[in-house]
Chains A and B, each alone.
Chain A
Amino acid sequence: MQLTAVEEGMLEGREGPAKQRAMEGLVQLGRAFGAPRMVEIGYAHIHAGMALYLEDVELMEDLAAIDARMAVPASVNIANADVENWKLTGAPEKLAKLQRRAADAHHKMGSACTFTCTPYWAGHWPTWNTHMTSIESTVTIFCNSVLGARSNRDGFFAVYAGMTGRYPLFGYHLDENRRGTHRVRVATPLESVTDYSALGFHVGRIVGEGVPVFEGFAQRPSLDALDAMGAALATSGGVALFIVPGVTPPYATAEQAFAGRSPAETIEVTRADVDAVYGYFCTRGDGVFDIVHVGCPHASFEEMKDYAARLDGRRIFPGTEFWITTSRAVRRMAEEAGLLRALEASGAKVISDTCPISCHFARTVSPDPALGVVPPPIRSVVVDSAKQAKYVRDMIRCDTLLTGTAEAIETALSGRFVARGGVA
């Protein structure tokens, strides 16, 4: 791998042990994937340090201790507890305190401690052709597909890229991998953001790690719809990039997206395909649920406005647990706009930094026993996101009831499950 003099210097330790460790890792990664050289990145979305995994917060503390600093703008991924409002979730205080230690490490390293899977709603908005890195697949696909930035689906090394400002040149950083592989004809109207989530889940299962090109939308999908569709594509498949001609930079037409190659397959999506995803994630025949959840990926300010309008002046059904999850930045904006008071007056819980599958409800974690983490018994969760549904099933290991956002809110208000289509 060809390194510049600056990169060689980092590798040899001339810029300290933190950059040396980071560059050693990135060089190995580059070698594994045949990268000819490094590229300079403009943004990194990095690991939080997760309190529910053994010595995982320490990963970030160890970097801070050897004076790691972010060389580029950096945001921080979702965490395992709401650091401020942990009591709302029933988490042990020790867990929240451990999670706060990760925040301290991020402050020292100069990363914006966003603790969210949607840093773009918090102002981290990389632009066309910005090379970047992300530990969160939802961020990767949104930034590639909606903003035209260049990102792989990364893991821990996003922090190494942030520390050095470098990333090996391979994968979705290269034009040759940013071309359509599958044509998707959407032959059904999509009536809600959750319909886009279901569409993404369906298509991701078919295309795997391909690049689907979408045609046939009746109108330009909203940013929230694109976010939901991308998150689902990245969940059921390994999709890092989708192309909507006229939306995804720089593709004005499907022909440009395919760049002269024939698609491997043309996928016609019907109403039945979308319905089938709802069916797949409605596993609780008796409609019993313990929690109603909206805000996966973490809600945008627009979604907070929508929730507040639907809940305006109404009360969550007594004994029903209703969670809205968002980033601390959007929560703060909602607070200043008066939305938070209205949401909380209805009985909704507005939770930041985490979500049902990221918090202590998950059964696939490995916390230090001293934290006293005990996952509560949960039979079923009502969700409005196919991504959340998939991981509720895999990580909380309980039933799911997938429905639209409006219907999820009606479920919380009435105490009875309202299936998709149940709200006009």
Chain B
Amino acid sequence: MSTLQGHGIVNGRASGPALVAEEAISFLGDVDINTGTVVGDLPSVHGRSVKGTVLVFPYSRGSAGAWRFLYQLFKHGNHPVAIVTRDVPDPSVVQGAILAGIPIVSGVPPEEWERFRNGAVLTVDGGAGRVETPE
């Protein structure tokens, strides 16, 4: 096990299998709130479910409505348990994550991203800004 240090954005601690998107995500439109399935034009994760995952993506595409869709994923039980990004997500995404209790760590150096393999269990500590990986 090893630990990657980033910036803690939203407090909380959660573990789950990684789902790594290579593209930016918009929570308004890219993820179906009723199923958790990625329906947007994101070839690296299209058709996959974000439910229960640690969702890893480079940055969020802006929409002021994003918070509501992230919160609705939570209300339907289809939410990612944690989020790891390269850049700090939009304020709206951060607000939705705080509301839904989904920890976020940002600023993990891109050269470390290859360690985020789909399905590998990651543990995210939003308070400490840490991501623990199995190797």
Contact = CB atoms under 8 A, between A and B. Distances in A.
Contact of B72 (A33, A53, A209): A53
Interface in B77-120: 88, 90-92, 94-96, 98-99, 104, 106
A53 B68 contact: yes
A154 B64 contact: yes
Most buried by B among A28, A32, A364: A32
Nearest to A139: B64
Interface string A346-363: 000000000000000000
B56 to A, nearest CB: 18
A132 interface: no
Given A32-B88, A154-B64, A366 B76 contact: yes
Given A152-B91, A156-B96, A171-B91, A136 B71 contact: no
B68 A238 contact: no
B67 interface: yes
A140 interface: yes
A156 B99 contact: yes
B10 interface: yes
Contact of A25 (B29, B66, B95): B95
Nearest to A28: B98
Interface of B: 8-11, 29, 33-34, 62-68, 71-72, 75-76, 88, 90-92, 94-96, 98-99, 104, 106
Interface in A40-71: 50, 53-56
Interface string A140-158: 1000000000001111110
B62 A394 contact: no
A151 to B, nearest CB: 11
B91 A155 contact: yes
17 contacts: A25-B98, A28-B10, A29-B91, A31-B9, A33-B91, A33-B94, A53-B75, A54-B72, A136-B64, A153-B64, A153-B91, A154-B64, A154-B95, A155-B64, A156-B96, A209-B62, A364-B33
Interface string A389-404: 0000010000000000
B11 A28 contact: yes
Chain B interface, DSSP helix/strand/loop, else mixed: mixed
Given A28-B10, A32-B88, A33-B88, A54 B96 contact: no
Contacts of A238: 62-63, 90
B33 A366 contact: yes
Nearest to A135: B64
Nearest to B32: A364
Contact of A54 (B8, B11, B76, B90): B76
A28 to B, nearest CB: 5
Contacts of B8: 31
B9 A32 contact: yes
A53 B28 CA distance: 13
A171 B10 CA distance: 18
A137 interface: yes
A154 B91 contact: yes
Contact of B67 (A50, A140, A156, A171): A156
A78 B98 CA distance: 23
Contact of A32 (B10, B64, B67): B10
**Interface range on chain A: under 10, 10 to 19, 20 to 34, or 35 or more?**
20 to 34
Most buried by A among B10, B94, B106: B94
Interface in A234-260: 234, 237-238
B72 A156 contact: no
A55 B95 contact: no
Given A33-B88, A238-B62, A50 B98 contact: no
A50 B68 contact: yes
B76 A156 contact: no
Nearest to B7: A32
A154 B94 CA distance: 10
A137 B90 CA distance: 13
A364 B66 CA distance: 13
A29 B95 contact: yes
A237 B90 CA distance: 13
A31 B34 CA distance: 31
Contacts of A171: 91
A366 B76 CA distance: 9
Task: Rank and list the top 9 A-B pairs by shortest CB-CB distance, nearest first.
Answer: A155-B67, A238-B62, A155-B92, A155-B95, A137-B64, A32-B9, A153-B64, A157-B95, A54-B75
Most buried by A among B65, B67, B90, B91: B91
Contacts of A234: 64
Contacts of A366: 33-34, 72, 75-76
A164 B88 CA distance: 25
B92 A29 contact: no
Nearest to A208: B62
Contact of B94 (A32, A50, A53, A54): A32
Interface string A319-347: 00000000000000000000000000000
Given A154-B92, A156-B96, A157-B91, 19 more contacts: A25-B98, A29-B95, A31-B9, A32-B9, A33-B88, A33-B94, A50-B68, A55-B75, A56-B68, A56-B75, A135-B64, A154-B91, A155-B65, A155-B66, A155-B96, A157-B98, A364-B33, A366-B33, A394-B29
